[in-house]
Amino acid sequence: MTLQEEIARRRTFAVIAHPDAGKTTLTEKLLLFGGAIHVAGAVKSNKIKKGATSDFMEIERQRGISVATSVMGFEYEGCKINILDTPGHEDFAEDTYRTLTAVDSVIIVIDGAKGVESQTRKLMEVCRMRKTPVIVFINKLDRPCKDPFDLLDEVEKELHIRVRPLSFPISSGDTFKGVYNIYEHNLSLFTSDERQTADASTVEISDLASPELDRYIGERYATRLREDIELIEGVYDPFDRQPYLEGDLAPVFFGSAVNNFGVRELLECFLRIAPSPRPAPTETRLVEPQEEKMTGFVFKIHANMDPNHRNRIAFLKICSGMFERNKNYLHVRSGKQLKFSSPTAFMAEKKSVIDFAYPGDIVGLHDTGNFKIGDTFTEGEKLKFTGIPSFAPEQFRYIENADPLKFKQLAKGIDQLMDEGVAQLFTSSLNGRKIIGTVGALQFEVIEYRLAHEYGAACRWEPISIYKACWIESDNAAQLADFKRRKHTNMAVDKHGRDVYLADTSYALALAQENFKDIRFHFTSEF
């Protein structure tokens, strides 16, 4: 197969959702279709249940699972599909954000009873920022759900994206009859005895006016469906792939993941419309996947589970060309040539050493502590991929050394954990103290636990009251200097030495934005 053909058949995406909406269940059903797993239950949910926050064994166990299921690759109908897993617990949202930098599209799962939830909103912001194409799957139709039109409106309003239903449910809960596939003009009937395994029975309905429809779902539901579909065709423009690819339009499917209902329709439509690997921006130019020379970037680093071996796995997303085992590549940040004798690919449950990988694929590289998130590999060109930002943390604590004899271990541990992207480090301009910023509170416990177990260091946390950290810059040097002088007690630098303003309250931040018009406040590290 040519490079071009290998690229065209690849689909690299993530399933994202608010916890409990059904991400794990849907992922598992997709894998079952692909034959990548054979029994339900093979994909362990990697969510850390609320209340388990001080159960470190649980955290370790979850880390183990999340390495194993980080990337699930499989073949389906000639396509090579790579599903990138994202952590279930919202305290690990930043991990999810970064994974989103390595996908070409996403499927968002929404619980039909709950509608759009907080985490869905945040994740969608990241997708919007990157113009990632999204497909929405509204799940749990076997339970009483909100009205489908209300759900469509909610998705449109709350996620700020135009929607276009490609399937439509007939009732929900106890009276759930099935889903009409607007795209294929057929009806999937829901019979509750098919729970969990079988494929839905599908009947072709070429003409909705046909009395056949009444026979299948009863007159009342048939009449309602005819009205609903007429309304949809009147209100929504016909589905157009271009705005979907540009991230402006989300096709919507309805179903029930646990019952394997509506999943095949979703997968088949996904394969048809979802993009193959897209060009990737760098600081200097756009890299096209079909370029002959290999390029790629590290979007995730995972520490070894075994504290005696401080090896880590760096996840490299191939952006162009063909990656080869034992070939020298330039690690752009250090300027060193490196080759990898045992790069791994992830196929569902197992990891295996591979000889080649293509754009869209994720390769696991052994790392002894030299790589950072965002690192670029090339065949010599000094490129730096962009679009792998850090996000403004929302929880802060001072970190102090609790064991004076282990100062070095602590410094090294903090440094490496920050490279892995576990949290962000800021140094206060006021007193030089180190501040750790995270997206979720659980991270502090993870850091403390890992510093002790992997680095033999002890830390202590002290409270600090900060609402948000944002990166600041300005072309108006005088105003910037004035701001930094006045806000001296709230200024810090990140680990690259860039100015960060630590706002005490949302009010203080709003006031600062109002009073210092020439200063740009950024909520991601890349601007």
Among 9, 11, 23, 302, binds ligand G4P (CB under 6 A): 23
Q: Is the distance from CB of 63 to CB of 300 less than 8 angstroms?
A: no
Give, as ranges, the residues between 30 and 89 that touch ligand G4P (CB under 6 A).
45, 47, 88
Q: Which is nearer to ligand G4P, 138 or 423 (CB)?
A: 138
Residue 332 φ then ψ, to 5°: -55, -40
| Residue with Cβ nearer ligand G4P (259 or 390) | 259
- Taking CB under 6 A as the criterion, the residue among 142, 265, 367, 454 binding ligand G4P is 142
Nearer to ligand G4P, 22 or 374 (CB): 22
Task: Provide the b/e sequence for 97-109 (b: ≥16 CB within 10 Å).
Answer: bbbbbbbbbbbbb
Backbone phi, then psi, for 354, in 5-degree steps?
-120, 155
Q: Rounded to the nearest whole angstrom, what is the least distance from the CB of residue 19 to ligand G4P in the complex?
A: 4
Annotated binding site for GTP: 85-89, 139-142
Shortest Å, Cβ 438 to ligand G4P: 21
Stretch that binds ligand G4P, among 120-128, 135-143, 172-180, 401-409 (CB under 6 A): 135-143
Q: Which residue in 24, 86, 96, 171 binds ligand G4P (CB under 6 A)?
A: 24
Q: How far apart are CA 186 and CA 158, in angstroms?
A: 30
CB of 90 to ligand G4P, least distance (A): 10
For residues 444 and 461, is the Cβ–Cβ distance under 8 A? yes
Of 38 and 215, CB closest to ligand G4P: 38
Q: How many residues bind ligand G4P (CB under 6 A)?
A: 19
Residues making up the annotated binding site are 85-89, 139-142
Q: What is the full DSSP assignment across 89-149?
A: SGGGHHHHHHHGGG-SEEEEEEETTTBS-HHHHHHHHHHHHHT--EEEEEE-TTS----HH
Counting contacts by CB under 6 A, is residue 139 touching ligand G4P? yes
Distance CA 86, CA 95 (A): 7
CA distances from 70 to 44, 272, 315 (A): 12, 24, 9
Q: Nearest distance from residue 64's CB to ligand G4P, in Å? A: 17
First to last CA, the chain: 39
Tell whether residue 165 is a contact of ligand G4P (CB under 6 A).
Answer: no
Q: Does 258 bind ligand G4P (CB under 6 A)?
A: yes
Q: Residue 140 interacts with ligand G4P (CB under 6 A)?
A: yes
Strands (E), 207-311: 249-254, 280-281, 286-287, 295-303
Q: Is 25 in the site for ligand G4P (CB under 6 A)?
A: yes
Answer yes or no: are the C-beta atoms of 243 and 236 closer than 8 Å.
Answer: no
Footprint (CB under 6 A) of ligand G4P, residues 81-100: 88
Q: How far apart are CA 208 and CA 217, in angstroms?
A: 12
Residues near ligand G4P (CB under 6 A):
17, 19-25, 45, 47, 88, 139-140, 142-143, 256-259
